[in-house]
Amino acid sequence: MKRVLISGANSGIGRATAIRLAAEGYTVFAGMRDVGKAAKVVEGAAAAGARVEPIALDVNDETSVRDAVAKIESDSGSVDILINNAGIALNAALEDVDIERGKEVFETNFWGIIRCTQAVLPGMRAQGSGHVMNISSVAGRIAAIGQLVYSASKWAVEAMSENLAQEMAPFGIRVSIIEPGVTRTAILPKNMGHPEPTEYTDAYRRMLQFYARGIVANTPAEEVAGVIHGAIEDPAPRLRYPCAWGGVELCEGRARLSDEAWVGLGACKSDEEYYAAFESCFGLDIRTPTG
């Protein structure tokens, strides 16, 4: 049975994916910085009639990553599927960015993926097969207002994934990019603030309204886990899999949208003008539902 390593598997999309794949018969290694927080993923898998193996994995620590992969390879064999899920968010317009905090976002969201992927690729190349799945975001396809650093980190993930897909093609190794929209996970409550005082209250208010509308849609992490499982089993593999609330609409809408129309969104004077323009561009009504 194929061996799967998932980073950030103690909560959210990572936990839901670990449980889903274990229930589907995969051998799942649930990576997390603190294995003392593994109870929910272990219990969830047991409730599904399956089991997962928690493993210490800090994507920001080269030694931790190498040790985790070495342990899997020694005990079970090479990793067949790597799911780079660990990630953190940060809200800030450019002028408000705390550069040191911004570096931490890239350390996890970008360099963490590179560390984990570098560690598994020799084994995948040796066996002539493998699958690297990078959890990006719709913010990797649009420049999310008020989220400059987070969005830039996910754009970097998209570019890295495109490069990697070409680099790995000669070795029979697949690369997939999962692009969730708003999903009900623990990252949302942690991501509702912004720097203050600030000159960019309009941008933050509109950004938070987008997420508030997505929260109302109530897309569970299990839905994204289903997309990940489907991508693994896809008989006609694609590079990108947009999903969850707003995923398809935002990715496809931005591809159609002119740069001038994109910039024009930022020039909207009132919130109502902005919400109407956003709906026209993407087919998503982000106003607060009434009635």
> Known catalytic residues?
150
Bridge pairing between strands 27-32 and 81-84: unpaired
Find where tokens 């754009």 sit: 155
Q: How far is CA 247 from CA 3, 82, 113, in A?
A: 28, 22, 22
CB 116 within 8 A of CB 82: yes
Peptide bond into 197 cis (omega under 30): yes
